[in-house]
Amino acid sequence: MNEIWIEKYRPRTLKEVMGQKDIVERLRSYVETKNLPHLMFAGPAGTGKTTCAIALARELYGDMWKFNFNELNASDERGIDVVRGKIKDFARTAPMGNAGFKIIFLDEADALTGDAQAALRRTMERYSRTCRFVLSCNYSSKIIDPIQSRCAVFRFRPLRQEDIRSYLQRISQLEELDIDEDALNALVHVSQGDMRKAINSLQVAASLGESITVDIVYHTTGTARPEEVKKLMELALAGEFIAARNHLDEIMINYGLSGEDVLKQIHRTVFELDIPDSDKVRLMDRTGEIEFRIVEGSNERIQLESLLAYLVLVGEHRGDSAD
C-alpha cells in the first residue's frame, strides 16, 4: 500500500466528479467556450473543490495543464508578501502553449489575512487578461465582499450517502477488498458527506487486513458505534446515572475519544431518541452550552457527566408528567 488512495483515485475529469452535478455542468460549459471568470468554490471539506479545480485545468489545457496551473495553499502562505510575490509573479507572465490565460488556484483562501485579501483584489483586476483566479474556502463569509463580487460563486454541498457508497464500492473492487455491508454503512456514517474522510478511513481499515468489518471501521476511525452512544443516553434517561457514567468510561477508553468527540456523537443521536420534541429542544440547548464550556477550557469529564445528570432530570420530569 504505497499510495494515498485519495490521490490515487482522484477524478481526472469533471465528468468523474461525484455528487456535484449542477456545478460540473456549469464548469464544463466554461471548458467548451475556452473561457471562464474568476471562480470561488465554497463548501465543507471533502466535497470536491480541489478536485474540480484540477479537473477543470486538465480539460482546459490538456497536456500543458501543469505549466498553466499554479496551486497555493493559503493556510500555509497567508500573508501579503505571498500576494505581492509568488501570486503576482505567476500572474504577470504569459500562458504556455495556445492557452489564453493561466489559472492560480488558492486553496483554503479563507485563511488569507485581511491585508492579503485587500492586495489580492487589485491583483485579480490588474492581471485578468492573462490569469484567472480560483479560490477555495470552507467559509465564504471570511472572504471580503470586493473579492466575492469579482468571482462566480459555486457552493458545494456535502455528498449524498449513495454517492459515497458507490465510490467506496468501486475502490473496494479495484483494490480487491472484502468489505461487508455493515462496514460500508459504517464508513458512510462516519464520513458525514466528506469523501476524503470516507476514502482515508477505508484505506486505514484495509491496512489491517483484506477483510473489513464494522468493528474495524469504528476502531480505526475513532468513532463509537451509534447504538452505544444511544444506549448511553437511554441509561441516563432511565435514571441510571452510575450505569451511564460507567458506560461513558467504556466508550472513551475503548475508542480513545475526547470529550468533544463524544459530544458530537451525542448531538447526532438526540434526534433518534424516543422522547418528546420539547425535551429534544431542551437537550439540544444544553448540549450546545456544554460544547461551549469544553471549547473554552472546562474539564470535559465534569461537563459530560453534567450532561448525563441533565438527561436523568429530563427522564424524571417525563416520569412525573406521566403520573
> What pLDDT is attached to residue 116?
83
Q: Give me the CATH number covering residue 47.
A: 3.40.50.300
The answer, yes or no, to whether residue 143 has pLDDT greater than 60, is: yes
**Candidate from 62-76, 139-153, 211-225, 253-267 with smallest mean pLDDT:** 62-76
Q: Express each pLDDT in 170-226 by its tens digit.
A: 999 998 888 988 999 999 999 989 999 999 999 998 888 768 888 888 888 888 888
CA 21, CA 196: separation in Å to the nearest integer? 18
The answer, yes or no, to whether residue 2 has pLDDT greater than 90, is: no
Do 144 and 9 share a domain, yes or no? Answer: yes
pLDDT confidence band for 77 (50 / 70 / 90): low
CA 32, CA 25: separation in Å to the nearest integer? 11
**Radius of gyration in angstroms for the set of CA atoms belonging to the chain, rounded to a whole number:** 24
DSSP 70-105: EEEETTTS-SHHHIIIIIHHHHHSPPSTT-S-EEEE
Q: Express each pLDDT in 257-290 by its tens digit.
A: 888 989 999 998 998 888 888 889 999 999 999 9
Residue type for 238, please? Answer: A
Do 15 and 127 share a domain, yes or no? Answer: yes
Q: Which residue has the cell 479545480?
A: 53
Do 281 and 199 share a domain, yes or no? Answer: no
Mean pLDDT of the chain: 88
Helices (H) and strands (E) in the chain, counts: 16, 7
Q: Are strands 178-179 and 211-212 parallel, antiparallel or unpaired?
A: parallel
CA 91, CA 183: separation in Å to the nearest integer? 47
Do 203 and 240 share a domain, yes or no? Answer: no
pLDDT confidence band for 319 (50 / 70 / 90): low
Do 191 and 65 share a domain, yes or no? Answer: no
136, 49 Cβ separation under 8 angstroms? yes
Those residues whose C-beta lies under 8 Å from the C-beta of residue 151, and which sit 6 or more positions away, are: 37, 38, 39, 40, 133, 135
Query: What are residue 36's phi and psi, to 5 degrees?
Result: -160, 155
Report the number of distinct structural domains present in the chain: 3
132, 103 Cβ separation under 8 angstroms? yes
**Candidate from 78-92, 108-122, 247-261 with smallest mean pLDDT:** 78-92
pTM attached to this predicted model: 0.82
Q: Is 181 exposed, middle or buried (0-12, 13-18, 19+ CB in 10 A)?
A: exposed
pLDDT confidence band for 51 (50 / 70 / 90): very high
Q: Range of 237's domain?
A: 226-322
CA 250, CA 137: separation in Å to the nearest integer? 38
Q: Express each pLDDT in 253-264 by its tens digit.
A: 888 888 898 999
> What pLDDT is attached to residue 180?
87
Do 172 and 302 share a domain, yes or no? Answer: no
> What pLDDT is attached to residue 267?
92
The answer, yes or no, to whether residue 146 has pLDDT greater than 70, is: yes
Q: Which residue has the cell 471580503?
A: 144
Q: Give me the CATH number covering residue 246.
A: 1.20.272.10
The answer, yes or no, to whether residue 161 has pLDDT greater than 60, is: yes
Do 299 and 264 share a domain, yes or no? Answer: yes
* Residue that finishes a domain, picked among 133, 155, 177: 155
Do 278 and 187 share a domain, yes or no? Answer: no
